[in-house]
Structure 1
Amino acid sequence: MSGATLSLIVAIVGVGGTLASAVITQVLAQRAESQRLEREERVRLAEQRASEDQRKVDQLRDCYVQLNARDRHYRDAMLAYAYALKSGSAEAEATEVSSARRAQRDARAEAQLIASDAVLEIESRVNAQLTIAYRRLMEVAGEPDSSTREARLNQVIDLLDSIISQQGHVRALMRLEVRATEELPDWYNPEIGLPQHQLADH
């Protein structure tokens, strides 16, 4: 092989090596860029999911704050009305009960679209007791006999007092769902408020 041919081969190999090196460098750079973009996309999707998850928790928290407040206010308004009936005039308290009842109904309507099944189930027991208390209170308000009225008002007051414990159980579950706490308290009982014949079946 002549020196000219050898020089030509060396030159071709050198040029080929240079070109190959440039191609390999470009491929590696494109691969690194592709991996970087994939990582950024994964991070973006994770942040998007976290943001959406937080938005849902915030929406649930707002719903639960309203439902809890309206249930409590409704109970408190009926209790104030019952005590007012015991002492005489109760027009202002009667108006407040009507207002509280409407607000509680609106809060429950929203909760039925947002709240979890577990919260709706246990809160519905509270609402059932509130409904019973309201019905009895309206009946007592029309009771003409003072001694009968007194006894029946005491029964309504006892019923309204018993609801406090049930509301505490609803709040405990709500707090767990909005991540205000990591676990339910030891005293939590998912069957709180169940009628006695249903408790016997469990």
Structure 2
Amino acid sequence: MSGAIVSLIVGIVGVGGTLASGAVTQVLAQRAESRRLDQAQQIRAAEQRASEDQRKIDRLRSCYAQLNAHDRQYRDAMLAYAYDLKSGSTNADVTEVSSARRAQRDTRAEAQLLASDAVLAAESPVNERLTTAYRHLMSIEGESDPSTQRAKISRIIGLLDSIIPLQGHVRDLMRFEVRTTEELPDGHNSESAPATLHQTDA
């Protein structure tokens, strides 16, 4: 093989190598850019999920804050009214009780669409006791015997007082679900059997 042919072959190989090197470099660059775009897309998707999760948490926090507040206001309004009746106060006014009851019912209706099953299950005994207390409290005025009336009012007050630990239980769950706290308190358990007043007792 003559030197000219060898030189030609070497030249061809060199040119091919240069061209191949450029093509390989371009492929590698495209792959790197594709990976960068994929990573950027994954980051954006993760940020969107985090943002959506935060919106849900914020909405749930607002719902829980309203439910907690209105359950307490409803209880407090009935308790104040019961003590007024017990003391024979002429200022006893059921208007605040009725207003608190409506607010609690509206808030609870919204919570039934947003709250978790765990919170609804824990809040249900609270609502049952509030409903029972309201029903018996509204029947007090129909009681003609003062001593019987006072006894019924005392039982209603006891029922309303019994709601406090249940509300604490619900509040613990709410705080956990909206990430205010990372774990539930020690000894946290559900109280499933609501206390009730028998019709013959109140």
TM-score (norm 2): 0.91
Say whether 1:44 aligns with 2:35. no
Q: Using the TM superposition, name which of 133-142 and 65-74 deviates more.
A: 133-142
Cα offset, 1:51, TM superposition: 1.3
Task: After TM superposition, list the pairs within 5 Å mapping 1:72-83 onto structure 2.
Answer: 72-83=72-83
Contact 1:126 1:166 in 2 (8 A): yes
Aligned to 1:23: 23
Cα offset, 1:4, TM superposition: 2.3
Say whether 1:159 aligns with 2:159. yes
Cα offset, 1:193, TM superposition: 4.3
Corresponding pairs, count: 194
RMSD: 1.4
Aligned to 1:89: 90
Contact 2:79 2:160 in 1 (8 A): yes
Task: After TM superposition, list the pairs within 5 Å mapping 1:59-70 onto structure 2.
Answer: 59-70=59-70
Cα offset, 1:160, TM superposition: 0.5
Say whether 1:145 aligns with 2:145. yes
Measure, in 2, the Cα distance between the counterparts of 1:62 and 1:150. Answer: 39
Partner amino acid, structure 2, of 1:11: G
Partner amino acid, structure 2, of 1:34: S
Cα offset, 1:195, TM superposition: 4.6
Measure, in 1, the Cα distance between the counterparts of 2:46 and 2:106. Answer: 35
Cα offset, 1:50, TM superposition: 1.3
**CA pair 195-85 structure 1, distance change in 2 beyond 3 A:** closer
Contact 1:85 1:141 in 2 (8 A): no
Q: Using the TM superposition, name which of 79-88 and 122-131 deviates more.
A: 79-88
Measure, in 2, the Cα distance between the counterparts of 1:26 and 1:56. Answer: 45
Runs of 4+ in structure 1 over 6 Å off: none
Identical residues among aligned pairs (%): 69
Measure, in 2, the Cα distance between the counterparts of 1:86 and 1:44. Answer: 62
**CA pair 77-193 structure 1, distance change in 2 beyond 3 A:** farther
Measure, in 2, the Cα distance between the counterparts of 1:110 and 1:195. Answer: 23
Say whether 1:71 aligns with 2:71. yes
TM-score (norm 1): 0.91
**CA pair 193-141 structure 1, distance change in 2 beyond 3 A:** farther
